[in-house]
Amino acid sequence: MEILEDKRLPEQTIALLKILQIGQSQIEQGQVKTMEVVFEELDKLN
25 within a domain of the structure (yes/no) = yes
| pLDDT, tens digit only, all 46 positions of the chain | 566 566 777 888 889 999 999 999 999 999 999 999 999 999 999 8
In the prediction, which pLDDT does 18 show? 94
Residue 1 lies in a domain: no
The answer to whether 5 and 18 are in contact (CB under 8 A) is no
The predicted pLDDT at position 28 comes to 96
Q: Which domain holds residue 39?
A: 13-45
Does the residue 27 lie in any domain?
yes
Instruction: Give the pLDDT confidence score for residue 9 in this predicted structure.
Output: 76
Q: What is the pLDDT of residue 20?
A: 96
pLDDT at 4: 58
Residues 4, 18: contact at Cβ < 8 Å? yes
